[in-house]
Amino acid sequence: MKNIYKTFLLSLSLVFNFACEDVIIEDPVSLATADGYYNSAQGIEDGLRAAYTPLRRFYGRQEGFFLTVTGTDIFTNGFGGVANAPDINNYSANLLGTNGMITTVWNQFYIGINQANTVVNRTPEVSEISETQKARIIGEARFIRALYYFHLVQQFGPVHFSLEETVGVETEANRTDVGTIYQEGIVPDLQYAVDNLPVEAFEYGRINKAAAEALLARVHLTLGNWSEAETLASKVINEYDFELVTPYAELWDIGNDVNSEIVWSIQYTGDPLTNDGGNWGHLFFIFDYTFNPAMTRNVIYGRPWQRFLPTNYLLKLYDRSMDARWDGSFRTAWLADKSAEINGHVVNPGDTAIKIVMYPVPDEVQETAPYWLFDFNDNWIGDITAPWEIGTNQRRNYPSLLKYMDPLRTSVNATDGRRDFPVIRLAEMYLIAAEAAWRQNKNQVAADYINVIRSRAAIPGKEAEMQVSASDIDLAFILDERARELVGEKHRWYDLKRTGTLLERVREYNLDAAPNIQEMHLVRPIPQTQIDRVSNPGDFSQNEGY
């Protein structure tokens, strides 16, 4: 699958010549090139690979993180978020259709959709491809198309919908009802993928039957089809060879990208020629340790862009006495890499330079510790001015999410991470099955599913204490468990919107966003560039309130 992206440069011109139907196309000459290229087995395979490519502009890039991680109950803006894209988290009056993050996601998804449409429409005409291979190719393309539309309808509501490739110049666009897009696009596309994709992927990282069932389970959960969601999630759990990785921390070992828990991931590579800029996740969630006198920027601890700051709610969510997911997800200690003096103590390379604890510490202890000692007093994380408290230094100092750290980067300043992005992993299937079972009043079944992942998450010897009973299961507990397990993995905004809790939980737990968030923010503004270029603006209006 690392080779999927090797055709990116070759196919990119074809992709842009087949840009989304609501983008004006002004280069009909190159259409002939596309007609000539997508008439062979090689051309179709290259076209399919190109349909995967825009996924990298969402999974592993800051646009996708901002639209799914911030503006929720568990993350707000860090120093870098305040400086770069504060309005997405804050839901401020400046959150408009001119927002560059939102525009990039919209454009990339429609490029991907039209490329998938091209593959779906043209593959049946290529005689040198067997019927079995045609079904597999079309299944992959329809999965990808469904995923792009799934993101679009959740982010924007009614959007332009077409299952046909653009041929020639089109300037009209429509806004199709969300239900129609699910009924005529997303669900049948994924069902086709389930019915036609092989169990073994064509290449590692390509779509297979299990990935299609898993995404369809997620879709049915979103639609409120509880029985279907539970059935599909249970199939992924029970009918394949996936296993939860134990201990939890090993999931995020940089050498363990390919593991038994990954149902499907977006592929990155160490080769700069095929990495398309790389996975940037390692930049966004980390403490700016470079202010410490005993530390310099290094590859192990990363290049701190500090985009995303954990909220108080997230920091209090883990029982650190028995849940290994805290230490498995967050770094709370840093070692010196040069000699310096801290609080009158000489600190040498290898000594502790920074330590975070999740409880209050007396000032005199902090002021005399042989390292920077940060504590947690449950003051709002965004307003900290005390020198030794989590969130201080203008939101630069906080526990660092480990899931995207990339110590294999080529230099301390390199942004092009090579870590794969886990779009679907087995633990999510247990959580989907649990929620769907609870929705059907099967609380014990829900607890049984959740206890599997809590057993994996337990600190050795604490397995029994980590178990929950049927009476523990409600929506708040399910959302808490999803946060503990899936933190930072681009689920949270969707989870809160899906469960109807986005407004109330943001108002309660994200004090930066609380004053501003309102009903209109359940969808994003349509990009202004999109509205400006349609020739039927009366049929393609901005979302209400923007």
d(CA 457, CA 120): 42
- CA torsion 126-129-133-138 (nearest 10°) is -10
| Cα–Cα nearest to 193, from 215, 212, 206, 219 | 212
Q: Where are the beta strands (DSSP E) in 191-318?
A: 262-266, 308-310
Label residue 26 by pLDDT band (50, 70, 90): very low
Question: CA-to-CA distance for 181 and 487, rounded, in angstroms?
Answer: 29
Residue 215: the pLDDT is 98
Confidence band for 11, pLDDT divided at 50, 70 and 90: very low
What is the structure's pLDDT at 166? 85
The dihedrals phi and psi of 365, each to the nearest 5 degrees, come to -70, -45
pLDDT for 492 equals 98
Within a 10 A sphere around the Cβ of 239, how many other Cβ atoms?
A: 12
Looking at residue 537, what is its pLDDT?
A: 86
Q: Is 369 helix (H, G, I), strand (E, B) or coil?
A: coil
CA distance 521 to 92: 10
Using 50, 70 and 90 to split pLDDT, how confident is the model at 37?
Answer: confident
pLDDT of residue 9 exceeding 80, the answer is no
CA angle 164, 166, 170 (to 5 degrees): 125
pLDDT at 18: 32
Q: What are phi and psi of 159, to 5 degrees?
A: -135, 170
Average pLDDT rounded to a whole number, residues 435-450: 98
77 φ, ψ (degrees, to nearest 5) = -75, 130
Q: Span 1-13, mean pLDDT? A: 39
pLDDT in the model for residue 12: 37
Count other C-beta atoms under 10 Å from residue 382's C-beta.
18
What mean pLDDT is predicted for residues 186-214? 97
Identify which has the larger pLDDT, 150 or 1. 150
Asked if the model's pLDDT at residue 13 lies above 80, the reply is: no
Number of C-beta neighbours around residue 225 at 10 A = 18
Q: In the predicted model, what is the mean pLDDT of residues 294-304?
A: 97
pLDDT, tens only, 513-544: 999 999 999 999 999 999 999 999 888 999 99
Banded model confidence at residue 154, pLDDT cuts 50, 70, 90: very high
- Residue 33: its pLDDT value, please? 58
User: Quick one: pLDDT band at residue 35, thresholds 50, 70, 90?
Assistant: confident
Could you report the per-residue pLDDT of 375-400, keeping only the tens digit for each?
999 999 999 999 999 999 999 999 99
Per residue in 319-378, pLDDT tens?
999 999 999 999 999 999 999 999 999 999 999 999 999 999 999 999 999 999 999 999
- Residue 344, Cα to own-chain centre: how many angstroms? 43
Architecture of the structural domain at 1-198+500-536: Alpha Horseshoe (1.25)
Instruction: Identify the residue with better confidence: 48 or 274.
Output: 48
d(CA 491, CA 218): 11
pLDDT at 6 over 60: no
Query: What is residue 272's predicted lDDT score, i.e. its pLDDT?
Result: 85
Other C-beta atoms closer than 10 Å to the C-beta of 414 total 17
Question: What pLDDT score was predicted for residue 271?
Answer: 87
Whether 444 shows a pLDDT value over 80: the answer reads: yes
Does residue 438 contact residue 499 with C-beta atoms inside 8 Å?
no
Could you tell me the pTM of the whole model? 0.93
The boundaries of every CATH 1.25.40.390 domain in the chain are 1-198+500-536
The percent of residues above 70 in pLDDT, for the chain, comes to 94
Number of neighbouring beta carbons within 10 Å of residue 98: 12
Residue with tokens 């050498």: 255
Instruction: Measure the CA dihedral 14/19/25/28, to 10°.
Output: 30
